[in-house]
Each structure stands twice: as C-alpha cells, then as structure tokens.
Amino acid sequence: MTSPKPIPVASAAMIERLATRVRAARTAQGLPRRALSDMSGVSPRYLAQLEAGEGNISVILLDRVATALNVRIEDLLSEAAPMRADVARVARLYEEATGPVQGRVRALLAPENPMALRAQRICLVGLRGAGKSTLGRRAAEKLKVPFVELNDAIEAEAGMPLGEVMALYGQDGYRALEAEAITRVIEDHDKLILAVAGGIVAESATYAQVLERFHTVWVRTSPAEHMARVRAQGDLRPMEGNPGAMDQLKSFLTTRTPLYERALAQVDTSAKPVQMSVNDLLATIASNRFLDSIGPE
C-alpha cells in the first residue's frame, strides 16, 4: 500500500496560516462554530478540521467561510498580515462608491503639501520692538499684498481696544481671541503679511497652526534695541517701577529663542537702518519664494 505523500512545507505553512486566521476571525466576532456553520453552509466538522489545520478545504467552501466572517478570502491565504476588519470594510465601501466619491476620498487622505497649506501667507514673529510692524507694513506696500496686525484684528473682532480686552477677558481670554483671529486670517487671506504678538509662540497649538499655515520669518534684534524701540514708541511701561525689566526681557528672549528658531527664515534688524532691514526682509521673501505659488523646492 502506497503511503500518502508528505505535504510540502510551503503548503503546510499555508494551511496552518489559514487555520489560525479563520479561528482568530471567528473568535474576534464572538461566533460559535455552530453559528458560523449556519451562516456559511459549511459543516461544523469541516470547520473544526479547517481551524485545526487538518483538512484541505475547497476554494468554494473557503469563500463561503470568508463571506460569513466578513473578510476577504485573499486575506486568509496571503503570506502578508491580514487586513484589519475596519480597514477591509472601508476598502469595500471605497470600491462600491462612485467615481466622484472615490476622488473626494483620495483628496481627503492624500498627504498635504506644506507649501500649498501655507499658500502665500507670510507671518512675522519675534519679541516686541524687533520691527515686525514697520517691516511688515513697508514690505507689504512694496509687494502690493495686504498687511495685517493681528492685535488690530483682535480688537476689531472684540469691538474694543486691546487694553479693555485684557482687562475684561484676562490673558487666557486674549489667547483664545488670538487663536480665533489666526483662524479667521487664514480663512480670509491666501496672500498677506501678518505681524503677531511676541508671546504667540508660548501657545503651542496656536503657534503650530501658524507654522503650518504661514511662511514664518523671525524678526530679531538685540535686547537693548528691543527696549529702546519700545520706549521710542512712547511706551515707558517696560521700565516704570521695574528696575529688572532688562533682565526680564533677556529672560524672555532666552526662553523663546528655541521657539522663534522654528521659523523658516530670520531677519536680524540689529544696528541697521529701517530701509536696510526692509530690503533684507524682501530679499528673504524672494529667495525663499514665499510669494510663489509652489514655494521653495
């Protein structure tokens, strides 16, 4: 009597893989073997053999089992890890969807181009007194694009001066209005130069949105010039009754420098005439192609 031929190693591995996956899929769905038998039309004895890796099931019967388990037959047989049930369901829904719906799904799932997200929006960040407003306004005039001071947008949104906003809502309220104003600027402008308050970098979520949706430029200068420019604007508050104001400013700068350095570019205005700094900003915008439709390569 001829002995049965041994099952090739590759075939044995496939049978064991099939047994494991059928057993796992049934267990994951909480199906007793009898229930799976009723749903698939395959006998409980045959299913027991299949899950034990002891039987060779026909393709037709295996297809019935896969359908009852709501999985693809190829996932039961493939050497690769099987597709998760939720992923498989989404895949089937995609296959059954119309062309336009499939197109919207692909567009939604496609990785966003960072340059496209930033459009032609430029945001100037940095401590107060660095020159953001002056440089931003003059560069915008030269480039014929809108210039927005975020604090002005916050005042317009709140319907009151910034001092009253702070008095009424406090720092937390101001930060919430700041985040809303950033979102509104993004919605309203695909092309502009925006100047924001120095402390925006301390709000991680808001700053992350700025970095994602704007080409950012850190406008920087020395601590002494920061203080001198603020005082030259007629604001003596940093020094009034605060002999440690300069130390405080240096501390702010030290703490925030790593955050400002996340900007895509920098313009140093230290010991420079305003027009030279404006030219530096214009050169930075041009060399980085911030106002080009596709951005830097």
- Predicted confidence at residue 254, as pLDDT, reads 85
- Predicted confidence at residue 218, as pLDDT, reads 96
Residue 127 near residue 252 (C-beta atoms within 8 A):
yes
Convert the pLDDT of each residue in 159-199 to its tens digit.
888 889 888 888 888 999 999 999 999 999 999 999 999 99
Q: What single-letter DSSP state applies at residue 119?
A: T
- Predicted confidence at residue 177, as pLDDT, reads 92
- Predicted confidence at residue 235, as pLDDT, reads 52
- Output phi, psi for 147, to 5 deg: -120, 135
Q: Which helix (H) or strand (E) holds 73?
A: helix 73-77
Q: How far is CA 242 from the centre of its chain?
A: 41
- Reported pTM: 0.60
Residues 6 or more apart in contact with residue 188 via CB below 8 angstroms: none
| Residues of the chain predicted below pLDDT 70 | 1-11, 55-57, 60, 77-89, 99-101, 103-112, 226, 230, 232-245, 293-297
Q: How far is CA 257 from the centre of its chain?
A: 23
Report the distance separating Cα 72 and Cα 92, nearest Å: 10
What's the CATH number for 114-287?
3.40.50.300
Q: Is 31 helix (H, G, I), strand (E, B) or coil?
A: coil
Report the distance separating Cα 124 and Cα 139, nearest Å: 11
Nearest to 216 by CA among 195, 186, 185: 195
Start-end ranges of CATH 3.40.50.300 in the chain? 114-287
Tell me which CATH homologous superfamily contains domain 9-79.
lambda repressor-like DNA-binding domains (1.10.260.40)
| Region of residue 145 (left: phi > 0; alpha: psi -120 to 50; beta: else) | beta
- Predicted confidence at residue 297, as pLDDT, reads 39
- Output phi, psi for 13, to 5 deg: -65, -40
- Predicted confidence at residue 79, as pLDDT, reads 61
- Predicted confidence at residue 233, as pLDDT, reads 63
Q: Which helix (H) or strand (E) holds 121?
A: strand 120-125
- Predicted confidence at residue 120, as pLDDT, reads 94
Residues 6 or more apart in contact with residue 51 via CB below 8 angstroms: 19, 22, 23, 26, 33
- Predicted confidence at residue 255, as pLDDT, reads 87
Report the distance separating Cα 34 and Cα 260, nearest Å: 65
Burial of 123 (0-12, 13-18, 19+ CB in 10 A): buried
Start-end ranges of CATH 1.10.260.40 in the chain? 9-79
